[in-house]
Amino acid sequence: MNDLQYEFGMIGLGVMGRNLMLNIADHNFSVIGLDLDPVKAAAVETEAGTGQSVRGTTSAEAFVQALRKPRAIMLLVPAGKPVDAVIASLLPLLEPGDIVIDGGNSYFPDTERRVAMLEENGIHFFGMGISGGEKGARFGPSMMPGGNREAYERLRPVFEAIAAKVNGEPCVTYLGNGSAGNYVKMVHNGIEYGVMELIAETYDLLKRGVGLSDEELQAVFQDWNQTELQSFLIEITGDILKKKDDITGQPLVNVISDVARSKGTGKWTSQNAMDLQVPVPSIDMAVLMRDMSKFKEERVEAAKQLSNNALQTNIDSDRQAFIGQMRNAFYFAMISTYAQGLAQLKVASEEYKYGLQLQDVAKIWRGGCIIRAACLTDIRAAYEKNPSLPNLLLDSKVGGDLLVRQDDIRSVLKAAIDKGIPMPAFMASLSYFDAYRSETLPTNIIQAQRDYFGAHTYERRDKPGFFHTEWD
């Protein structure tokens, strides 16, 4: 087997790298893995078992020499300096036409830099977002590759074989030039932040506001997963709520700290959206609420000094009717969040010359990834019908679905305000909808203020040009 010319190479045999290797082998492609840890290098061969063309090695030279040309090599190492270090060690061993794929969550400007640097050596560099976690890597992830279109043909048979499938369609496709793949994965993660925050706010209002028990909450999320809300995140929330703690016997979620952590991809989405001047308020609020959670000691003290008496009684409403309103409100806010992320992708594609097709993005998000959801079928259809659609809200079906649910999200938010229960991502989702459909916004007064104190000029409604007034 050692003399075999391997179809694909994997560097980094941790959980994700090992599982992707085994997935590739399951689909009858020969694969070789490189890791400096001899235990990991040996373990992947043992786990693959007999009958599969899988090899592990600790030698970079042996690894590169064993690969079929042009070589296809994926890196699954931590983002940042480790990626650059691996590339530097590989470069003397590679030849023009070889392909290097970064499968981690790298920040897209780093990918652009690496594309340019390797291009000088005739080597193709792909940034590819991978979503689905450990289980997805083993049995079918969603993959978001970006780079040279012609070079993608060398990768396509392997990627299409190992990707998740929805109605027979693989959840992978060529997305666009340069860092397109990493950018799409970044926005995927931003939407993920937003939807997770919406679920957390829903849980909070139903628990503290309505007074549902843990068992009732679990049943709600389990039922919702059989409706238009069907999604991976709703599904796992139902699973989480029924898990018992081995130590206390309580629902495990009740003993988990309310201080949330993050790895930065949501923040990157918000930061770049501001650079592009594209509003993504639901994602912004999701990032900010994780930040707010870290002020635990201050929140404990504030709860004493700024007590919320409204929490002493439950929301005065028919429970089942309110849960129905909550379901519609969640759908509204979820679609608003997707619309924001997709609007950012559209502007970014134009700014960075990616050539993204948003119907393809929606297609590969339908399976394997964390934000997979039933609603992506309608989202894909909207962009197939009109590939130049400037915003998802302008699709007649999607927009119509929100119009019939807007009364419910307003009622839910009024109840939350009266109870003093924070729902900032829901509020941001509704405000985005209301602002986007406002023919007139009050930003004329902002233009006037800027001109008053800083002579920044303003534009008029009745004629073109920039004007300044001596206001005082």
Active site positions, annotated = 185, 192
Q: Which two tokens stand for residue 177?
A: 């030039």
Rounded to an integer, what distance in angstroms lies between the CA atom of residue 10 and that of residue 3? 17
Q: Nearest 5 degrees, angle CA 436-CA 440-CA 446?
A: 100
Cis peptide before 70 (omega within 30 of 0): yes
Q: Determine phi and psi for 2, rounding to 5 degrees.
A: -65, -20
CA–CA distance from 17 to each of 114, 129, 180 (Å)?
A: 21, 13, 22
Whether the CB-CB separation of 8 and 30 falls below 8 Å is answered with yes
**Burial status of residue 88 (CB atoms within 10 A of its CB: 0-12, 13-18, 19 or more):** exposed
Q: Which two tokens stand for residue 240?
A: 């989480």
DSSP state of 101: E
Whether the CB-CB separation of 343 and 278 falls below 8 Å is answered with yes
C-alpha of 280 from chain center: 13
Q: Which of 74, 94, 98, 79 is nearest to 23 (CA)?
A: 74
Rounded to an integer, what distance in angstroms lies between the CA atom of residue 16 and that of residue 244? 28
Q: Which two tokens stand for residue 453?
A: 């104190």
Whether the CB-CB separation of 365 and 142 falls below 8 Å is answered with yes
Q: Nearest 5 degrees, angle CA 444-CA 446-CA 448?
A: 70
Question: In 3-state terms, what secondary structure has residue 27?
Answer: coil
Residues in the chain: 472
Residues paired with 128 in a beta bridge: 145
CA–CA distance from 220 to each of 2, 56, 206, 225, 267 (Å)?
A: 54, 47, 10, 9, 31
Whether the CB-CB separation of 141 and 163 falls below 8 Å is answered with yes
**Kind of pairing, strands 169-170 and 165-166?**
antiparallel
| Residue located via tokens 């635990």 | 296
Q: Which of 394, 393, 261, 280 is nearest to 347 (CA)?
A: 280
